Amino acid sequence: DAGVIQSPRHEVTEMGQEVTLRCKPISGHDYLFWYRQTMMRGLELLIYFNNNVPIDDSGMPEDRFSAKMPNASFSTLKIQPSEPRDSAVYFCASSDRERKKTNYGYTFGSGTRLTVV
Amino acid sequence: AQKVTQAQTEISVVEKEDVTLDCVYETRDTTYYLFWYKQPPSGELVFLIRRNSFDEQNEISGRYSWNFQKSTSSFNFTITASQVVDSAVYFCALSERGGTNAGKSTFGDGTTLTVKP
């Protein structure tokens, strides 16, 4: 299995531009999570999906952020318009609740380092 | 509400020393799962271990060992004979089995371990 695949690995964009981060979870996993990591706030859960349905988006900082999961193998996190304070590493993770697989633990992608200038 | 506290922000040891990373958690659920993750300087987040709330047996894996004590709500992680490659940020996490938080993990703020040669 290729693991959780995120793209791009690095993104540098100008303030005001739209940014789209992509994630392909592990096949068969029924949970997908989007986290943001910064030095100031650590790991923050932004939103998570179960069977492609958003369950909790209370961590999404504001309306500029949106996330979709159109099918079981793909999710996007979009920021429009982007601001310098959005600069962070964004992680996608997937999980399944069957013990024989990931034992409920997360498998994280490599992250996308976003810099908004 | 679930909460994970890693009181040690940074720890520095010399190679071959033993080191224990503390983790204290809060939850109202009777069934839950505890995790440790490692984030080396390269940035990826790696799942290390999961423990179930109904299984207090301690676990050893090579130089790593985990001490789960339900009575004190702690899930501590010990590295024996530390090595430079153990230098990383270590995160403790908690996931409740049921309720509105089912499937979602809450992470501690992490402990940065530096192992000096």
Asked if A33 lies within 8 A of B100 by C-beta distance, the reply is no
Asked if B105 lies within 8 A of A55 by C-beta distance, the reply is no
pLDDT score, position A100: 46
The CA distance from A81 to A64, in Å, is 6
Asked if B35 lies within 8 A of A105 by C-beta distance, the reply is yes
For the stretch A67-89, pLDDT in tens is 999 999 999 999 999 999 999 99
Tokens read off for A44? 């923050």
For the stretch A27-36, pLDDT in tens is 989 889 999 9
Q: Which positions in chain A have a beta carbon within 8 angstroms of at least one beta carbon in chain B? A: 31, 33, 42-43, 45, 48, 50, 55-56, 89, 91, 93, 95, 97, 102-108, 110-111, 113
For the stretch B22-79, pLDDT in tens is 999 999 888 888 999 999 999 999 989 888 888 777 788 899 999 999 999 999 999 9
Count chain A–chain B contacts defined by CB atoms under 8 A.
Answer: 49
Three-class DSSP labels, chain A: CCCCEEECCEEEECCCCCEEEEEECCCCCCEEEEEEEECCCEEEEEEEEECCEEEECCCCCCCCEEEEEEECCEEEEEECCCCHHHCEEEEEEEECCCCCCCCCCCEECCCEEEEEC
For the stretch B103-117, pLDDT in tens is 678 899 999 999 999
pLDDT score, position B50: 86
Residue A82, CA distances (Å) to A17, A40, A58, A73, B80 in order: 6, 19, 19, 26, 45
For the stretch A30-57, pLDDT in tens is 889 999 999 888 898 999 999 999 998 9
**Which residues of chain B lie closer than 8 angstroms to A103, CB-CB?**
50
Tokens read off for B29? 């659920």
The yes-or-no verdict on residue B1 having pLDDT over 80 is no
**Site of tokens 């679930």:** B2
pLDDT score, position B53: 87
Mean pLDDT of chain A: 91
Q: Does B112 touch chain A (CB under 8 A)?
A: no
- Closest CA of chain A from B50, distance in Å: 7
The yes-or-no verdict on residue A103 having pLDDT over 60 is no
**What residue in A sits closest to B51 (Cα-Cα)?**
A103
Q: Is the dihedral of CA A44, B89, B64, A100 positive or negative?
A: positive
For the stretch B85-104, pLDDT in tens is 999 999 999 987 766 666 67
Asked if A93 lies within 8 A of B45 by C-beta distance, the reply is yes
